[in-house]
Each structure stands twice: as structure tokens, then as C-alpha cells.
Amino acid sequence: QQQVRQSPQSLTVWEGETAILNCSYENSAFDYFPWYQQFPGEGPALLIAIRSVSDKKEDGRFTIFFNKREKKLSLHITDSQPGDSATYFCAASLGQGTGSKLSFGKGAKLTVSP
């Protein structure tokens, strides 16, 4: 059973627009939700993360909105730039100390057109 689901699978926006990537999860015990960004030929890199006690986390142009009741979260990328074109993975874990296993979504490919 897939623990973390992402939608859409791919998204194209124009430069300057806001891209919204959605994520939902099954396990209500998940406590830590990182988003990873992956460029072609590279490994996934942590972009931004949120804990379930918060409903919003902001870092520059990247914001996570979190709804614990609905078990949903979204990543908003404002003023999208061509350099943001990448695959974005939503992940979740119990967040209880070292060795927490991450459950990943399948990823969403974002293309920002100039």
C-alpha cells in the first residue's frame, strides 16, 4: 500500500507563476514531512520540511501548507523560476529519532517555462 501520494505527476507553469504540488498520506502517526528536490543526474536534496505540530512552513519562495485533519499537505513555489524545474518528492516519517524510515511519494516533475 502506497503510504504517500502526490499529485499532479507533472506540472508546467510560466515563469513568475505559483506552482502548487500536492501530497497526501495514509499513516496518521507520521510526524515529519520533508520535501526533496531532484535535478537530473543528481540525488534528491532536502528543500524544506514541516512537523505535524505546524500548519505552515515558509522558506523564501517555498511554503508548505499542512492539514493534519485531512492528512494533506502542499508545496507552494511562488515566483517560479526556470531553475526550479526539477522533480519534487514528498516524504513522511514517524520522525522519532535517528533512523526514521522515509516513505516517499512517486514524485512530481515541475517544468517552469520562461
Question: Which residues contact another protein (rule: CB under 8 A)?
Answer: 2, 4, 32, 34, 36, 41-46, 49, 51, 89, 95, 97-107
Could you tell me the smallest distance in angstroms from the CB atom of residue 17 to another protein? 27
C-beta of residue 107 within 8 angstroms of C-beta of residue 38: yes
**Distance, CA of 86 to chain centre:** 12
| Positions of E strands within 8-107 | 10-14, 19-25, 32-38, 45-51, 56-59, 62-67, 72-77, 86-92, 103-104
Judged by beta carbon, residue 40 or residue 114, the one nearer another protein is 40
Could you tell me the smallest distance in angstroms from the CB atom of residue 100 to another protein? 6
Judged by beta carbon, residue 65 or residue 104, the one nearer another protein is 104
Judged by beta carbon, residue 43 or residue 114, the one nearer another protein is 43
